[in-house]
């Protein structure tokens, strides 16, 4: 027992070997939850293609959540384009109407913040490339098309 201090810990080589094995096991199959979501499916396909060789099964859920967030962003933008950013609400007894911000405006702001946070965690923004261990394959993944 005296010389067995690291019995529960993995060596750096073993840890790296397990990470590589997890990356090789990553299934590129799109989750069924994205069926019917055109923008989400496109985001999933582009992201998996771009991060090929760097994603593990543990990253699958994060990419799926990012894809769903992107779909919500697209839907919220369409709603705001159709209905505008404000609506008029009549006060109780007077005839005056006051413009109010649509709930979609706040929802869009929140979804954009969450989406950006996930992109940073996945290493898909130029700023995040500095600290992400496994950079995207081409190094030229343009997230501008998802703005």
Domain membership flag for residue 11: no
- Structure confidence by residue, pLDDT tens digits, 37-47: 999 999 999 88
Domain assignment present for 14:
no
Task: Say yes or no to pLDDT of 142 above 70.
Answer: no
- Which residues, at least 6 apart from 23, have a Cβ–Cβ distance to it below 8 Å? 53, 54, 55, 56, 134
Q: pLDDT per residue over 59-116, tens digit each?
A: 888 999 999 999 999 999 999 999 999 888 877 777 788 888 999 999 999 999 999 9
The answer to whether residue 118 sits within a structural domain is yes
> Does the residue 66 lie in any domain?
yes
Domain of residue 52 covers 30-146
In this structure, is residue 102 part of a structural domain?
A: yes
Q: With a cut of 50, say whether residue 1 has pLDDT above it.
A: no
Length of the chain: 147
Residue 130 falls within a domain, yes or no?
yes
Cβ–Cβ < 8 Å for 87, 103: no
In a domain, 48, yes or no: yes
The number of folded domains in the chain is: 1
Structure token pair of residue 5: 């201090």
């Amino acid at each position: 027992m005296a010389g067995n201090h690291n019995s529960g810990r993995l060596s750096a080589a073993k840890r790296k070997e397990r990470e590589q094995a997890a990356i090789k096991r990553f299934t590129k199959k799109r989750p069924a939850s994205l069926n019917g979501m055109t923008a989400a499916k496109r985001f999933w396909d582009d992201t998996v293609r771009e991060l090929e060789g760097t994603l593990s099964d543990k990253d699958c859920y994060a990419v799926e959540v990012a894809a769903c967030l992107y779909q919500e962003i697209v839907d919220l933008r369409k709603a705001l384009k159709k209905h505008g950013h404000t609506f008029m609400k009549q006060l109780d007894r007077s005839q005056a109407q006051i413009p109010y911000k649509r709930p979609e405006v706040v929802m869009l702001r929140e979804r954009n913040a969450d989406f950006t946070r996930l992109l940073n965690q996945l290493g898909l923004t130029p700023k995040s490339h500095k600290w992400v261990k496994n950079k995207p394959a081409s190094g030229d993944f343009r997230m501008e098309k998802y703005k």
